[in-house]
């Protein structure tokens, strides 16, 4: 892993795979770190012929912190008051595009999960020149009428923040039971192990709050998504309680020609059992984009 300056921030990244292969960029969700994309998942993409870029968004992991720049303001979020936010999804998208440039990469297949899907959509809107294909996973358009969380998932998202390491690990287990995949339940010890790795690498709940604020103030992308022309696949679990499946359905409707892949029994996580389906969808979409690119030359 390394760090590189991208405008006013430094982003921590990991780049894996053959240097001459097309790049797949994986964008993490709310408060997530690049280690949230497991090496075994990355290896599947590399085996399919891709170079894989993972990175920590600003305010997460080992990338630049925005401490002292506010937190989550519920009233301002409801008003979509951008002035109350440290940054928006636009800045997070520009970080992604800027990282490609800083690494000398002309473009990439852009893949994002949850908030990362929102960022990926925004990259495709703002910087179509750097996007070969788009994959939006367990995400939504920003339209408040779709993708609404269940009451239990909303309570989990907005509940009290714990900071003690042991409490954080148990909170992760409790959260997984609310938002995880009912058809593919994760073992509690596995959840604790992943939560411990994330906590020990970087624990930044204030950064997570600022990222949530960025989501809330950034508004509805539905109209702008109509201008996206790159091959797009939208992947969503039918049993996602945090971003319910209507968010994925709306995303697929908003983007001309987008393919919707729904996975029964999948919640708001990526259990290993669904990796073959997810990776196959990413690779098929990316391959279609690469074939079209070659044909257009």
Q: E strands along the chain, which residues?
A: 2-6, 9-16, 23-27, 51-55, 108-113, 131-137, 232-237, 259-263
CB 275 within 8 A of CB 41: yes
Sheet with 23-27, strands from edge to edge, namely 2-6, 9-16, 51-55, 23-27, 108-113, 131-137, 232-237, 259-263
CB 71 within 8 A of CB 44: no
What would the pLDDT profile of 171-191 be if each residue is shown by its tens digit? 999 999 999 999 999 999 999
CB 35 within 8 A of CB 131: no
What would the pLDDT profile of 23-64 be if each residue is shown by its tens digit? 999 999 999 999 999 999 999 999 999 999 999 999 999 999
Tokens (6 digits) for 270: 């990526």
What would the pLDDT profile of 1-29 be if each residue is shown by its tens digit? 899 999 999 999 999 999 999 999 999 99
The whole-angstrom separation of Cα 278 and Cα 281 is 5
Tokens (6 digits) for 267: 């919640």
Please report, for the domain that includes residue 175, its CATH number. Answer: 3.40.50.1820
Enclosing domain of residue 28: 2-295
Tally of CB atoms within 10 A around 74: 10
Q: Does the pLDDT of residue 292 top 90, yes or no?
A: no
What would the pLDDT profile of 216-234 be if each residue is shown by its tens digit? 999 999 999 999 999 999 9
Phi-psi region of 233 (alpha: psi -120 to 50; beta: other; left: phi over 0): beta
Q: E strands along 40-130, which residues?
A: 51-55, 108-113
Q: Where are the alpha helices (DSSP H) in 128-245?
A: 151-158, 165-179, 188-201, 205-217, 222-225
Number of domains in the chain: 1
The separation between CA 53 and the C-alpha centre of its own chain, rounded to angstroms, equals 13
Q: Which residues contact 155 (CB under 8 A, 6 or more apart)?
A: none
CB 288 within 8 A of CB 133: yes
CB 189 within 8 A of CB 212: no
What percent of the chain is modeled with pLDDT above 70? 97
- Strand bridging mode 9-16 / 23-27: unpaired
DSSP 108: E
pLDDT of amino acid 294:
64
């Amino acid at each position: 892993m390394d760090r590189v300056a991208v405008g006013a921030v430094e982003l921590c990244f990991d780049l894996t795979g053959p240097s001459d292969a097309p790049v797949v960029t994986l964008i993490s969700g709310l408060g997530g770190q690049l280690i949230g994309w497991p090496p075994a998942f990355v290896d599947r993409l590399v085996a399919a012929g891709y170079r894989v870029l993972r990175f920590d968004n600003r305010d997460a992991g080992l990338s630049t912190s925005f401490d002292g720049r506010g937190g989550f303001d519920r009233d301002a979020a409801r008003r979509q008051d951008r002035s109350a936010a440290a940054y928006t999804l636009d800045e997070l998208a520009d970080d992604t595009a800027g990282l490609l440039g800083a690494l000398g990469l002309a473009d990439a297949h852009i893949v994002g999960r949850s908030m990362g899907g929102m960022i990926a959509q925004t990259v495709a809107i703002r910087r179509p020149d750097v996007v070969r294909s788009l994959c939006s996973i367990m995400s939504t358009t920003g339209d408040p009428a779709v993708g609404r969380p269940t009451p239990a998932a909303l309570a989990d998202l907005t509940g009290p923040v714990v900071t003690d390491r042991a409490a954080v690990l148990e909170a992760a287990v409790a959260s997984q039971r609310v938002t995880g995949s009912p058809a593919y339940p994760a073992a509690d010890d596995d959840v604790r192990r992943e939560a411990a790795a994330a906590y020990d690498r970087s624990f930044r709940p204030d950064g997570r709050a600022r990222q949530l604020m960025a989501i809330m103030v950034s508004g509805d992308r539905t109209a702008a998504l109509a201008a996206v022309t790159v091959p797009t696949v939208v992947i969503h679990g039918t049993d996602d309680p945090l971003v319910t499946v209507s968010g994925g359905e709306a995303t697929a409707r908003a983007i001309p020609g987008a393919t919707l892949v729904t996975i029964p029994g999948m919640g708001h996580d990526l259990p290993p059992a669904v990796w073959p389906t997810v990776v196959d969808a990413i690779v098929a979409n990316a391959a279609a984009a690469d074939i079209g690119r070659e044909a257009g030359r």
